[in-house]
Structure 1
Amino acid sequence: MKKNLLLILLLFVSILSFSQELHDIKGVVMNDANDKILENVNIVNLNQVKGTTTNDKGEFALKAAVNDTLYFSYLGFKSLRVRVTNDWLRFGDIKVKMTELGIALEEVVVKPVQLTGYVEIDAKLIPVYDNYRYRISGLSTGYEGGSNQPGAVSKVLSSIFNPADFLYNVFGKRPQQMRKMRKMKEDDEIRNLLQSKFDRETLMAVLQLERVDIDEILNKCNYSKDFIRTANDLQILDAISGCYEEYKILNRDK
């Protein structure tokens, strides 16, 4: 009886270790409508926080363990999550098909500034953007201010001396997400991916946050609405990470 229990235990441990082992996952990404290959599709392992892109043949290779989730994103196509299974490892390459989306581009109206040629008049016509940043001695980065961020100085001071830090409320019970964020900053493939994206989808998928959560974090970090609206995903990642590290230092003894 004891021998049987020992064998079952060893079998269970071996299965568990196999499922956690990283394997080379390969496949090809195609358009579901016509089976054409898709080049430069962004792929992120949400568990291991590693990324890659498809080559000119639609092929990709990525390290993953059984039950890891791969996140596929491509401009004009619906993002897709695919779980790595034992069958994938057993049968090798698989075909991942993505569904195309209809994208309606909003009309952009460009209003040129009509200059008169007189410096005194033209200086008043040219718009001035005052979304500048405040810097505090001891902090490596500053805080944005300007018309879209009223009371920026008071908000900076209140955030520094506030022991009930919003970021700790968000991430305090999810240290794993902060580790994932650090991994994202270290992976060149993911950084290149985030630098070209503005939809926050990859950030939301990896950090398991909603868009409103990301906006609220940046608001609490005193970033302006202009920055939140126009920054690419890499800038957003660096902003959240930098703000969290600053708060961690400032609240170390609290």
Structure 2
Amino acid sequence: MPNLISKFGIVFYKDFIFLAPIVMKNTLLIFFLLVSGYMSAQDMVSGTVMNAANDKPIENVHIVNLNQVKGAVTDENGEFELQATVNDTLYFSYLGFRSIRVRVTNDWLKYGNVKVKMTELGFALEEVTVNTVKLTGYLEIDAKNIPIYDNYRYSISGLNSGYEGGDSSPNAVTKAIRSLSNPADLVYNIFGTRPRQMKKLRQMKKDDNIRSLLRNKFDRETLMALLQVNRAEIDEILNNCNYSQDFMKTANDLQILDAINSCYEEYKVLQKN
């Protein structure tokens, strides 16, 4: 019996010595796979943005990763660094230059800094006529000449101009609910067929670089690229959610983003109910 116990003790001990390296090897393998997977998911691409006409670096170019909804801005040397993986699409935007999209490749990740050249746009200046309201000094007459706007606006932190919340009349609310819940409506189809794109709305609002970009843009190009909608669809969303033509024409892209996000949140609530 003692020999059997002693033999058992030796066998058990030998088995433990034999199994330990295997367990440790598998553990280390899993650990390295997880680390390598995390590192690959956190790949950074770098580059220099230049003027195609003279190869001079361009400062303050906004770059947005359309897939991961991350933003960056070039420094005084035109250089930038942004989180991206293979096949991500980067959107380059700068006032007075043609916006471009660049696909991230294996070579870019492997060899590092890439030169991206942007082409300057030519603008034809047209005559602009400014119509002013002529005041006579007589209150009864001037009160009739001054235009009255019924658009409801409120303030947003960080923005200089007011933000329009849409018409607050009972008819407007009814119209918005009917538009957002009607399966045949264009707005319903835009939201319903693009859930992945619409989920980017919150991500866009959280990224400081993207917010800074949208705050100074009025052309809707970045919004169209990120949400994969066209200008007509943006106008249709705002119109059906009771935003006025004045707001649609004068709001910056950040205000438009907030308006679309508000409209989408209402749509989701209606779908749950």
The one of 198, 203, 226 equivalent to 2:218 is 198
- C-alpha contact (below 8 Å) 2:51/2:118 kept by paired residues: yes
| 2:112 corresponds to 1:92 | yes
| 2:156 corresponds to 1:156 | no
- In the other structure, the counterpart of 2:151 is 131
- C-alpha contact (below 8 Å) 1:181/1:237 kept by paired residues: yes
Aligned equivalents of 1:225, 1:20: Cα separation in 2 = 46
Q: Secondary structure at the match of 1:172?
A: helix
User: Which letter does structure 2 place at the counterpart of 1:241?
Assistant: N
In the TM superposition, residue 18 of structure 1 has moved relative to its aligned partner by: 8.6
* CA RMSD of superposed structures (Å): 2.4
- In the other structure, the counterpart of 1:36 is 56
- C-alpha contact (below 8 Å) 2:172/2:242 kept by paired residues: yes
1:112 to 1:161, Cα distance in 2 relative to 1, 3 A: closer
Aligned equivalents of 1:68, 1:248: Cα separation in 2 = 28
Aligned equivalents of 1:142, 1:111: Cα separation in 2 = 27
Q: TM-score, normalised by structure 2?
A: 0.76
- In the other structure, the counterpart of 1:235 is 255
Aligned equivalents of 1:186, 1:108: Cα separation in 2 = 38
User: Which letter does structure 2 place at the counterpart of 1:154?
Assistant: N
- In the other structure, the counterpart of 1:22 is 42
Higher percent of residues as helix: 2
- C-alpha contact (below 8 Å) 1:19/1:67 kept by paired residues: no
| Structure 1 unaligned spans of 5+ | 1-12, 134-140, 146-151
State the structure with more CA Rg.
2
In the TM superposition, residue 95 of structure 1 has moved relative to its aligned partner by: 0.5
Aligned equivalents of 2:139, 2:112: Cα separation in 1 = 69
Q: Secondary structure at the match of 2:77?
A: coil
- In the other structure, the counterpart of 2:101 is 81
| 2:167 corresponds to 1:144 | yes
1:142 to 1:194, Cα distance in 2 relative to 1, 3 A: closer
Q: Secondary structure at the match of 2:59?
A: coil
Identical-pair percentage? 63
1:168 to 1:102, Cα distance in 2 relative to 1, 3 A: same
- C-alpha contact (below 8 Å) 1:31/1:99 kept by paired residues: yes
The one of 179, 183, 206 equivalent to 2:199 is 179
1:72 to 1:125, Cα distance in 2 relative to 1, 3 A: same
- In the other structure, the counterpart of 2:89 is 69
Q: TM-score, normalised by structure 1?
A: 0.81
| 2:212 corresponds to 1:189 | no
- C-alpha contact (below 8 Å) 1:20/1:66 kept by paired residues: no
- C-alpha contact (below 8 Å) 1:40/1:56 kept by paired residues: yes
